[in-house]
């Protein structure tokens, strides 16, 4: 099973890597792996080590570039993010607040929505499971939406098209609502609302921006150190728990970045 991991180099035959180095790599679900040097990303040690997965690699960089480069969020604008209690979404909302935006999160369940507002600092949150989602979304975005960061696709994306302001931007990061269903569905309003409201809807991959990663990482580190950015982690222990952890992730059990700690001490 494929899967990215924070790993320690145990043995190296490649120049530039030595035992004890920390790397991010697609190791798969296992305790030990071999990989070519070109497939490894060296990481500077940080405390806690878990931040190297939850903030300083894919989730943090995805949130940063998707919001600021693709979404082009600006101070005073309204930003909505779906899967807002997840690893990327919770960071998107906080970065938007740091940049002076009004932030609305979409999440599943009253408890998650309360957490987003009370602890993470969102201005409002909408529970897509509560019923009459369109009405609740309209109430939470009385001035419309300038930037929508889409992690889910499906019904939520469709509803958001009707709330977008003219010249609004939609950053398409994922479509989690469609990953584990036997009945995937399209979205009404495409291309009609995109044309009429002159919207820009753009998909992206975080690797597109890796040449700008040093700037992003410097900002993320500074915001985390100052307390402006709260990093929520959901850590489960044990390699044997990986299947259940993935199933739970797709079911929306987690807050923040779900990770599995495979080993705690190397023998």
User: What would the DSSP string read from start to end of 120-146?
Assistant: I--SEEEETTSS-HHHHHHHH-TT-EE
Dist. CA 92–CA 191, nearest whole Å = 26
pLDDT band at 185 (very low <50, low <70, confident <90, very high): confident
Whether residue 142 is contained in a domain is answered as yes
pLDDT tens digits for range 27-83: 999 999 999 999 999 999 988 999 999 999 999 999 999 999 999 999 999 999 999
pLDDT at 188: 86
Task: Judge if the upstream peptide bond of residue 258 is cis by omega within 30 degrees of 0.
Answer: no
- Total structural domains in the chain? 2
Q: What is the mean pLDDT of residues 175-199?
A: 86
pLDDT tens digits for range 130-161: 989 999 999 999 999 999 999 999 999 999 99
pLDDT at 74: 98
> Which CATH number goes with the domain that contains 24?
3.90.180.10
Is residue 133 exposed (0-12), middle (13-18) or buried (19+ Cβ within 10 Å)?
middle
Residues 186, 104 share a domain: yes
Residues 193, 139 share a domain: yes
Residues 192, 64 share a domain: yes
Q: How far apart are the first and last CA of the chain?
A: 24
Q: Is 260 helix (H, G, I), strand (E, B) or coil?
A: strand
> Which CATH number goes with the domain that contains 73?
3.40.50.720
Residues 76, 156 share a domain: yes
Residues 229, 98 share a domain: no
Dist. CA 226–CA 221, nearest whole Å = 9
Name the token pair of 173. Answer: 């990061």
Residues 231, 154 share a domain: no
Are 58 and 66 within 8 A, CB to CB?
no
pLDDT tens digits for range 107-126: 999 999 999 999 999 999 99
Above 60 in pLDDT, residue 191? yes
Whether residue 159 is contained in a domain is answered as yes
Name the token pair of 63. Answer: 């949130």
Query: Residues of the chain with pLDDT > 70: what percent?
Result: 99
Its domain, for residue 253, covers 4-49+215-261
pLDDT at 200: 97
Q: What is the mean pLDDT of residues 155-181?
A: 92
Above 90 in pLDDT, residue 250? no
pLDDT at 265: 60
Q: Are strands 124-127 and 41-43 parallel, antiparallel or unpaired?
A: unpaired
Residues 83, 45 share a domain: no
Residues 102, 219 share a domain: no
pLDDT at 267: 42
Whether residue 267 is contained in a domain is answered as no
Out of 180, 207, 234, a domain closes at 207
pTM of the model: 0.92
pLDDT at 60: 97
DSSP-assigned letters across all residues of 142-190: TT-EEEEEESS-HHHHHHHHTTEEEEEEEEE---GGGTT-SS----TTT
Are 67 and 44 within 8 A, CB to CB?
no
Instruction: Please state, as a whole number, how many other Cβ atoms lie within 10 Å of the Cβ of residue 187.
Output: 16
């Amino acid at each position: 099973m494929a899967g990215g991991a924070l790993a320690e180099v145990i043995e190296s035959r490649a120049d530039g890597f030595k035992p004890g180095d920390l790397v991010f790599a697609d190791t798969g679900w296992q305790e030990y792996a071999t990989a070519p040097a070109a497939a490894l990303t060296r990481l500077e040690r940080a405390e806690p080590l878990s931040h190297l997965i939850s903030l300083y690699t894919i989730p943090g960089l995805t949130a940063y570039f998707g919001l600021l480069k693709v979404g082009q969020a600006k101070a005073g604008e309204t930003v909505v993010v779906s899967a807002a209690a997840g690893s990327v979404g919770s960071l998107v909302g906080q970065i938007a607040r740091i940049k002076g935006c009004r932030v609305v999160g979409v999440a599943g369940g009253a408890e998650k929505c309360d957490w987003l507002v009370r602890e993470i600092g969102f201005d409002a949150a909408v529970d897509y499971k509560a019923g009459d989602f369109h009405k609740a979304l309209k109430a939470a975005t009385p001035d419309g939406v300038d930037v929508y960061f889409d992690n889910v696709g499906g019904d939520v994306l469709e509803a958001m098209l009707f709330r977008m302001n003219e010249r609004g931007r939609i950053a398409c990061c994922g479509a989690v609502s469609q990953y584990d269903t036997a009945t995937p569905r399209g979205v009404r309003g495409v291309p009609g609302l995109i044309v009429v409201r002159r919207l820009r809807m753009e998909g992206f991959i975080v690797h597109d921006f890796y040449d700008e990663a040093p700037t992003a990482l410097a900002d993320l580190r500074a915001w985390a150190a100052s307390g402006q950015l709260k990093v929520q982690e959901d850590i489960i222990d044990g390699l044997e728990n990986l299947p259940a952890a993935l199933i739970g992730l797709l079911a929306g059990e987690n807050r923040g970045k779900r990770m599995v700690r495979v080993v705690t001490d190397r023998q």
